[in-house]
Structure 1
Amino acid sequence: MKRTDFDVIIVGAGPAGLAAGYVLAKEGISVAIIERGIFPGSKNVMGGIFYRSSLDDLIPDFYKEAPIERHIVEQKFWFLSEDSMFSTGLRSERFNIEPYNCFSIFRAKFDKWFAKKVADASAMIINETVVKDLILEGEKVSGVRTDRPNGDLYSDVVIVADGVNSFLAKSLGLGKEIRTNDVAIAVKEVIELPDKVINDRFGVSNSSEGVTIEITGPYFNNMRAMGFIYTNRNSLSIGIGAVIEDLVRLKINPNDLLEILKKHPAIKPLVSGGEAKEYMAHMIPEGGYYAMPRLYSDGVMVVGDAAMLVNSIHREGANLAIESGKLAAKTYIEARKKGDFSKKTLSSYQKKLEESFVLKDLKTYKNLPKLLEEKRYLISKYPKFIIDSMYEIYNVDRVPKSEKIRLIMNRAKKEIGYFNILKDIFNIWRSFR
């Protein structure tokens, strides 16, 4: 008989790894989740917005017991220039009705809670342990080699959930060499403020309602950068992520970008009087569909950030990670019934992802990252033109509105060109095909 310590070993106790572990443990499958941090969540960072539906499928009404901060009732999008802000977004009472759409959270608290649920389902979580390599028998992955004495562990399948720039996926030749265009560095600060101050500044009626603001525009010096502000119960999460290539090219420290963001006249009043309590940084996959590694091989599947499963256009990551973990677990359960853990059998994981919202969404936007890389003026020149045009419209100075509109049209022709506008619209439309 072939030796196995566990049916499945999962490397990484983030949302993807925990979701896979929960599904497997609930089915009575022996599973170990190996986490290098002192506890799940201790090394995990994200902006802080968690979408409900993927986890609610596993743990119905989880938000009633999980450590969430606020449910989000308004989602805004701001374009910033040097002295102005143009806002769009949606506030809806439908977001204020249970089971809610999304929440602000702190990963250190949330992942710890999720991990307890997984452990209660009989999964074994092994903390403070580093997986140094995968164990191969021929071409099949048969376990992991850890940094503990006598630390080799064997299993039918290994699920790789070790995060961005996965060492394990690359060691198998699954992962591509990640370009600096495909990864962003995000920095985040947690600023403590009284809940009443937050409620007043963001226009919500109580401390359970929250607001998100996503931020881009010419203020960021033609960089592919996105800022954010998320409301927590007694604090704000404020941060910014920028593609590594742009940071290197302009020799800008992401910490400096965050300080610049906090000084903008539209941002400064929101954080005024607050006290910085935490600071953190992490990498985010930004390359989209074309940056994904191969997701399976003999005895192994890749999930979550390790699979580059982040929808950077809509700032979604944890929900895609959870969905991928669930689908990998279901694939293992099917393979176990066949007694076959070859890549041919595990390829159904890829098919499941393709049938889910995960790859359908990533395919929808698959050409957009390259378009924004080549035509970065789309997130600088156009927002600036919109801001300046709206200023002219709202600035009442006895000039007839018809004259203002004529001047705006002339500016559009001179600064951008009508043909270029049509071409850019066509290119954006084509990128969604």
Structure 2
Amino acid sequence: MAEIEYDFDVIVVGGGMSGLVAAYELAKAEKSVLVMERGEYCGAKNMTGGRVYAHSLRKVFGDALDEAPFQRKIVHEKLSLMNKDGLFTLDTTTPEFREQKNESYSILRAPFDQWMAEQCEDMGVEIMCGMPVEDLLKGEDGFINGIAVGKEEDGTREEMHAKVIMLCDGANSLLIQKAGLTDQAAPSTHEMAVGAKEVIELGADVIEDRFGVAPGEGTAWMFAGELTDGKPGGLALYTNEDSVSICMVVPIAGLIESNVPVYQQLENFKNREEIKPLLKGGKTVEYSGHMVPEGGYNMLQRHKLVGNGVVACGDNVGLCINSGYSVRGMDLAVTSGQLAAEAVSKAIDNDDFSAAGLGSYKTALDASYVVKDLKNFQKFPEFMDNDLGMLWDNTLSDMVLNIFKKLYIVDGTGEIPVKQKIMPLVKEVGIFKIAKLAMKGMKAL
């Protein structure tokens, strides 16, 4: 068997969160690393809602993270139920949101990913952009040992070899199928969602005035109810330094059944009377779409994390948690990239690139908060699909809004006891129906 001449110790496919963190950690371990990014620059093809929980990034970059181009530290958490006529909002703020151990930030991926790429390059990582990886190479022993870019038919195909290939190329990856790390031809339409995002420029002073935040501080605001044409889905709004990001996420299965495309659902939200004043005078500076994996732990279980000469990280194995009150993916991707890099570095030191030699990655991920958190929420996607019909068809939203309307409206006709205001509305929906839903929800969360 001919001996392979390796161009690099590791080739990382994908210059996003997991890929760049993996490259950074490997460079720290004195491994030669190439990152292949299909976009014109790191971050060009990456989209997030976007808020990142910074605990995992802090473990990788330490105090250097203080120089990262975050937008605003999230200190206000809002959750709103909407019906056709109004919204009911829970607004939470506490000094603990400002503590470093709990920090989370709104981000825009283009500047943030470019900052991470610069950290990698400072460590000696080579990054090639604008070159999508078309195929994976295998040796005579069946081990994956390289990548191919370009196409053979037009003479542009080029090949590069590495001891280990790291697949960090995002949701709906075709390479993960070619690597044999999943037996699914395509993810389930119930496990994948479409995200439509708009960034609206308003100015820092306007944001601080309209959203009631101090300079450098911001709001994360989740919406559910009258948004998605009676199908599962939701919307998140994040305040950036001088803009707001609005992201509508709807499972593909729901979109297939819906008469309203996701971009129109986003427009309908922006045109609501409660929302228009917040966006008045704004200028759209970005519009983008993205596939979002929402299968969580169940989706992860249908993937292998390692194979002979290859590992997979981040979105392409389903590392995302939608709990209804928050959406997480980037902190999970960062940790998966870090743990994968540690395993790959060890495998290279041991000169064992087999699935067994790389297996400490799976062991470490299983023992980490990543898999523990995914397990905790593994029943929620099914609960959202099968049991939350009362939320998507506005039954719950109408009940909650009508209760608070009766509590707050004073019209001079005389007050009645609160119980008499509330109970008819609750009975109309069904006390046992609500109790059963609450119990199922608690089990799912």
**TM-score (norm. length: structure 2):** 0.92
2:439 alignment partner, one of 402, 407, 426: 426
Q: SS of the counterpart of 1:326?
A: helix
Q: Match for residue 303 of structure 1? A: 313
Alignment partner of 1:287 is 2:290 = no
Aligned partners of 2:367 and 2:397: how far apart in 1? 35
**CA shift for structure 1 position 401:** 4.3
Q: Match for residue 16 of structure 2? A: 14
**CA shift for structure 1 position 62:** 3.4
CA contact (8 A) 1:223 1:376 kept: no
**CA shift for structure 1 position 407:** 4.7
Alignment partner of 1:164 is 2:171 = yes
2:119 alignment partner, one of 117, 120, 123: 117
TM-superposition CA deviations, 1:110-144 (whole Å, max 9, x none): 10111010011111111111111111224321111
Q: In the TM superposition, what are the counterparts of 1:180-259 in structure 2 within 5 Å?
A: 180-206=189-215, 208-259=216-267
Aligned partners of 1:62 and 1:51: how far apart in 2? 16
Q: SS of the counterpart of 2:361?
A: helix
Q: SS of the counterpart of 1:39?
A: coil
CA contact (8 A) 1:72 1:212 kept: yes
CA contact (8 A) 1:217 1:384 kept: no
Alignment partner of 1:173 is 2:180 = yes
Aligned partners of 1:52 and 1:423: how far apart in 2? 36
CA contact (8 A) 1:135 1:144 kept: yes
When structure 1 is superposed on structure 2, of 127-136 and 95-104 the one drifting more is 95-104
Alignment partner of 1:318 is 2:330 = yes
Q: Match for residue 369 of structure 2? A: 357
Aligned partners of 1:153 and 1:401: how far apart in 2? 77
**CA shift for structure 1 position 150:** 5.4
**CA shift for structure 1 position 308:** 1.2
Q: SS of the counterpart of 1:198?
A: helix
Aligned partners of 1:32 and 1:213: how far apart in 2? 38
Q: SS of the counterpart of 2:332?
A: helix
Aligned partners of 2:355 and 2:66: how far apart in 1? 40
Alignment partner of 1:25 is 2:27 = yes
Q: In the TM superposition, what are the counterparts of 1:318-397 in structure 2 within 5 Å?
A: 318-380=330-392, 381-397=395-411
When structure 1 is superposed on structure 2, of 122-131 and 218-227 the one drifting more is 218-227
- Equivalent AA in structure 1 for residue 367 of structure 2: E
Q: SS of the counterpart of 1:68?
A: coil
CA contact (8 A) 1:61 1:99 kept: no
Aligned partners of 1:34 and 1:194: how far apart in 2? 35
1:263 alignment partner, one of 261, 267, 271: 271
CA contact (8 A) 1:372 1:378 kept: no
Aligned partners of 1:115 and 1:321: how far apart in 2? 16
Aligned partners of 1:353 and 1:97: how far apart in 2? 26
Flag structure 1 segments of 5+ consecutive residues without an equivalent.
none
Q: SS of the counterpart of 2:61?
A: coil
**CA shift for structure 1 position 229:** 1.5
Aligned partners of 2:358 and 2:416: how far apart in 1? 63
Aligned partners of 2:259 and 2:229: how far apart in 1? 12
**CA shift for structure 1 position 100:** 6.3
When structure 1 is superposed on structure 2, of 373-382 and 180-189 the one drifting more is 373-382
**CA shift for structure 1 position 3:** 2.0
- Aligned residue-pair number: 429
Alignment partner of 1:126 is 2:138 = no
**TM-score (norm. length: structure 1):** 0.94
**CA shift for structure 1 position 201:** 0.6
Aligned partners of 1:64 and 1:430: how far apart in 2? 38
- Equivalent AA in structure 2 for residue 299 of structure 1: G
Q: Match for residue 107 of structure 1? A: 109
Aligned partners of 1:70 and 1:396: how far apart in 2? 39
CA-atom RMSD in angstroms: 1.8
CA contact (8 A) 2:402 2:425 kept: no
Flag structure 2 segments of 5+ consecutive residues without an equivalent.
none
Aligned partners of 2:114 and 2:312: how far apart in 1? 22
Aligned partners of 1:344 and 1:97: how far apart in 2? 40
CA contact (8 A) 2:295 2:381 kept: yes
- Equivalent AA in structure 1 for residue 354 of structure 2: S
Q: In the TM superposition, what are the counterparts of 1:388-427 in structure 2 within 5 Å?
A: 388-397=402-411, 398-402=413-417, 404-415=418-429, 417-427=430-440
**CA shift for structure 1 position 352:** 1.1
**CA shift for structure 1 position 196:** 1.3
Q: SS of the counterpart of 1:349?
A: helix
Aligned partners of 1:333 and 1:98: how far apart in 2? 29
TM-superposition CA deviations, 1:222-260 (whole Å, max 9, x none): 222211211112111122111111112113221101110
CA 1:336–1:409: 2 relative to 1, 3 Å: same
CA 1:74–1:84: 2 relative to 1, 3 Å: same
Q: In the TM superposition, what are the counterparts of 1:75-94 in structure 2 within 5 Å?
A: 75-94=77-96
CA 1:90–1:407: 2 relative to 1, 3 Å: closer
CA contact (8 A) 2:22 2:340 kept: yes
Aligned partners of 2:220 and 2:353: how far apart in 1? 43
Q: SS of the counterpart of 1:89?
A: strand
Aligned partners of 2:98 and 2:315: how far apart in 1? 30
